[in-house]
Chain A
């Protein structure tokens, strides 16, 4: 039966080739899209981990938006958490941060800023646009978003004033010297983010505590298991803290992923309908042309189910060949696109490279969509062919 199905495909080469081309292009397009979305997810994951680290530890209630009281980890909490983190092999680095909001200004200009006190000996994964990053030992230096620098017309080494309220609600002010400016790849964020030494932020807020621990792990895959272990150990130590992963914290990751997944879903449905309708038409034509032949094989003892299987096999063979070659074609096109080094500029962002992630995983969904579409489209003609009376089919000759 398989041999007959295969030879029937070869029998009308032009029609089979047309179906194959349609399937190939559809699979290749879906593969490329999947590869592009996949690369974007990877990029977003990397961006989210850069921004939030693999996991963060903060005082219980820190992430509750309705909380009025500022939740800060005390020095005693910090010591206990540090001890636990130091004993973990998979923890490769951690740092403390303290958020600070206030007004940054010069004699002529000022702007509202959202600042972060950081440990300056820790790597700052930022794109430095001018000057330098913060270095270990810096106590009164600051780096600002490129937008902030432009807004305040700041020059490197220029002194700026910062005004903020302490955690008790009192006003406090200080002076910082500009080390440089940075970009996080988002114009909006660049226009109000600043970073300063943790000790300076603690002085401004009048606290020896921190907001959170940002923890980097040796492997992203270890995030969930490490969180579970840490939760158990913190509970044992009586620490009232919460642990969240980068996935919990990076809303933008879920938003973009959700958007792309929806787009891919609708494109898949479109391709499915396109293939379904085309193969349905082709199979119906093929069945009509071969009605007498099907009648003959039924007459000489082929069961209805065998006729049905044979016609489904024809569609399935087309789907399998189209699926495999389509993924190969998509892979080749992906290699070419990646080598062309194409970039594009999304709104409020810098140029982003158009990169296609080439992985067999990305071919699985397009492959099964095609198999499903071809098989289902052959279902009706195959059922019809197997249900018709033999004598009626023979009369068709």
Chain B
């Protein structure tokens, strides 16, 4: 079942000097439970694609539909609500709130959703246990390693039961061993929760986990292979 549809999507950045077409006429369907890996060199348009999917940037042409709702028809407030409820985000530099503990960072999106205290406690405890960080729950991000921070970020992305998690270079700031563990964790969660993952990465080792492998070059998207789960 398609949860996101990209139709003839283009994105052009204009400056006083030149126009750069970051994405050209992209068509893509993301189904529930997909595990998609997006490759491509720097500046190819990978992050632009992710920003458009997340609704934090606007397409120049074409349309993105999430659950058959066109993103371009939504106001800023409605797009914020959509991100809050349907989309989980994971960043290369983790982007945890430095003044909150790991537990509070994971709790934060639930506070935005106005989830009750008992339900918040139950959900946060559960997801932190799943990412293996129960014992680190009360630590501040500055007291965690890179891999632990990314686990917290993944827990934060998944705690609201989103339909899709968008991860921008989630292993980019981690060593290969830790990076592999993070991707395996994502794959496990993808299977357990049946949540779609779109992972933008430079790290080629991630490709082996991909259900759909996509390459973007000069703004053009190519689906390289479609596999069953590895």
Chain A: residues with CB nearer than 8 A to chain B? 3-4, 7-8, 10-11, 292-293, 296-304, 306, 389-391, 394, 397
Contact = CB atoms under 8 A, between A and B. Distances in A.
A126 B108 CA distance: 72
Main SS at interface, chain B: helix
Interface stretch (B59-67, B88-96, B119-127, B184-192): B88-96
Interface in B94-130: 95, 97-100, 104, 108-109, 112-113
B112 A11 contact: no
B83 A11 contact: no
Given A292-B95, A293-B95, A397-B95, A298 B80 contact: yes
Interface in B134-156: 156
A213 to B, nearest CB: 71
B95 A301 contact: no
15 contacts: A3-B104, A4-B99, A7-B99, A293-B95, A297-B97, A297-B108, A298-B56, A299-B54, A300-B156, A301-B84, A301-B85, A302-B80, A302-B112, A394-B51, A397-B91
Contact of A293 (B89, B98, B104): B98
Nearest to A390: B56
A304 B80 CA distance: 9
Contact of B56 (A293, A299, A302, A304): A299
Nearest to B83: A301
A175 to B, nearest CB: 88
A304 B109 CA distance: 15
Nearest to B91: A296
B84 A300 contact: yes
B105 to A, nearest CB: 10
Top 8 closest A-B pairs, CB basis? Answer: A301-B84, A7-B99, A296-B95, A390-B56, A391-B57, A391-B56, A301-B83, A301-B112
Contacts of B109: 300-301
A394 B93 CA distance: 11
Between A297, A306, A390, the greatest number of chain B beta carbons within 10 A of the residue's beta carbon is seen for A390
A397 B91 CA distance: 11
B78 to A, nearest CB: 11
A304 B81 CA distance: 11
A8 B80 contact: no
Given A299-B83, A300-B156, A301-B84, A10 B54 contact: no
A397 B56 contact: no
B97 A293 contact: yes
Contact of A11 (B51, B76, B98): B98
Given A390-B56, A391-B51, A391-B57, A300 B99 contact: no
Given A300-B89, A301-B80, A11 B56 contact: no
Given A7-B100, A299-B89, A301-B84, A394 B56 contact: yes
Contacts of B85: 301
A293 B108 CA distance: 13
